[in-house]
Structure 1
Amino acid sequence: MRRKVYTKDQILKAAYEVVENEGFSGFTARNIAKKMGISTQPIYLEFKNMSDLKNALLDEICNHLYYDIFPEVRTGDTIIDLGLSYVYFAKEQSNLYNALYVQEYGGGKKMHDFSYNYFHQLIVKHPKYSKLSENKINALHVGTWIVVTGIATLMSSGIIEPTQDEIVHLIDRTINTVLQEDDTSVLDSL
């Protein structure tokens, strides 16, 4: 009798569903195996350990954000569009958003670095922002990151329900404030 082979993709899909429903607190080999109706052995045949599986899962999620979520054009201003995509991702997939960006054992530094690199890539290609210094790009990232994370977290919790125009206004105001400041702003030191 042939034994069933479980692929990395099947395990990643189950891991994704566990994180989406329970956050990283439920990210255990036992929970993932239970979701698949198997023992934990196939997981450890495909992945060295749970850290390896978590990194593979975060890579998959980053690809999903990079290709499917973040590029959506809403206003034509890349920073505002990215902010809106981030906010709507948080609202529409609040459990996953919280697991990745808010929870203590979530995506943490990896998600922040991914988001910064994506942001930086957009900025240097955009005519409005392409001539900015690295300090200014960093200040712009920190300023908009704080604003959209605040909006995203409050919206995903159901505390506020701003319109798209209100969100755009808040992001735009932050961008303009950062662009008008000199290079030694408070945001640079964060």
Structure 2
Amino acid sequence: MPKQRITKEMVVNAAFDIARSSGMEKVLVKNIADKIGCSVQPIYSYCKNMEGLRQDVADQVRHFIKQYLAAHIDKSNLFSSTGKAYIQLAKEEPYLFKIFILHQRKGISSLKDLYEREANPQVAIAIAKELGVSVSQARQLHLNMLIYTIGIGAIFSVTTPGISADEIYTQQERAYEAFLKQALETIDFAERNLI
């Protein structure tokens, strides 16, 4: 029987599967070799260092999450359904959610940088149209909700036996109402000062 040719893709996919089921801390050369069914030597030939492999896994996680969110959002209710999709992701894929939250983001020195890199700009435009606010105010509302949702999602993903999704959704809705009220008050204040 000919030997199986181990490829970099096989190594990264095995590492992703391990991270998905057990967390990034279990992405070890021995565990990858066991998953593929080979010796550690081919793994070392693709992994000059574990940091590079972990970055490849984090890239694959980002791609997975992007596809997951696209499949779980309701385009007629983009804003709310995106928040719920993040929470659902935290429940269904807690290890991937943690990797997504905790991976190193280089070149970020402000929340504006983070928003521009992580958020879909179409969401702010849709929010602005739906609520009758400026795109700038919609971005701030969206940023506030992203920060809140990722924070509560992180709490949700690390609690045992677990907070109910309904409780999380209720809290998320309260935060949305508070952030929306703040955005609308900003509009009212600006309009009053223009008169």
Same fold (TM over 0.5): yes
In terms of Rg, which structure is larger? 2
Deviation of 1:31 (Å): 2.2
Cα gap change, 1:31/1:178 in structure 2, threshold over 3 Å: closer, same or farther? farther
1:173 aligns with 2:177: yes
Contact kept, 8 Å, 2:16 with 2:57, in 1: the verdict is: yes
1:161 aligns with 2:164: yes
Higher helix share: 2
State the partner residue of 1:107. Answer: 103
State the partner residue of 2:21. Answer: 21
Deviation of 1:172 (Å): 2.7
Q: How many residues align?
A: 176
Cα gap change, 1:94/1:21 in structure 2, threshold over 3 Å: closer, same or farther? same
* Separation (CA, whole Å) in 2 of partners of 1:159 and 1:120: 30
In the TM superposition, 1:75-90 aligns within 5 A as 76-90=76-90
SS of equivalent residue, structure 2 residue 39: coil
SS of equivalent residue, structure 2 residue 135: coil
State the partner residue of 2:192. Answer: none
Amino acid at match of 1:149: I
* Separation (CA, whole Å) in 2 of partners of 1:41 and 1:128: 56
State the partner residue of 1:69. Answer: 69
* Separation (CA, whole Å) in 2 of partners of 1:161 and 1:48: 43
SS of equivalent residue, structure 1 residue 33: helix
In the TM superposition, 1:45-64 aligns within 5 A as 45-64=45-64
**TM-score normalised by length of structure 2:** 0.70
* Separation (CA, whole Å) in 2 of partners of 1:45 and 1:115: 37
* Separation (CA, whole Å) in 2 of partners of 1:174 and 1:5: 56
Deviation of 1:89 (Å): 0.3
Cα gap change, 1:45/1:148 in structure 2, threshold over 3 Å: closer, same or farther? same
Q: Which runs of 5+ in 2 are unaligned?
A: 188-195
Task: Give me the identity figure in percent.
Answer: 22
**TM-score normalised by length of structure 1:** 0.71
Deviation of 1:121 (Å): 2.5
1:12 aligns with 2:12: yes
Deviations 1:90-118 (A, max 9, x none): 011123323432xxxx42427x9887634
State the partner residue of 1:188. Answer: none
Deviations 1:125-161 (A, max 9, x none): 423378422x862x33442133213432343324421
Amino acid at match of 1:180: L
State the partner residue of 1:148. Answer: 149
State the partner residue of 1:30. Answer: 30
Cα gap change, 1:3/1:162 in structure 2, threshold over 3 Å: closer, same or farther? closer
Cα gap change, 1:120/1:73 in structure 2, threshold over 3 Å: closer, same or farther? closer
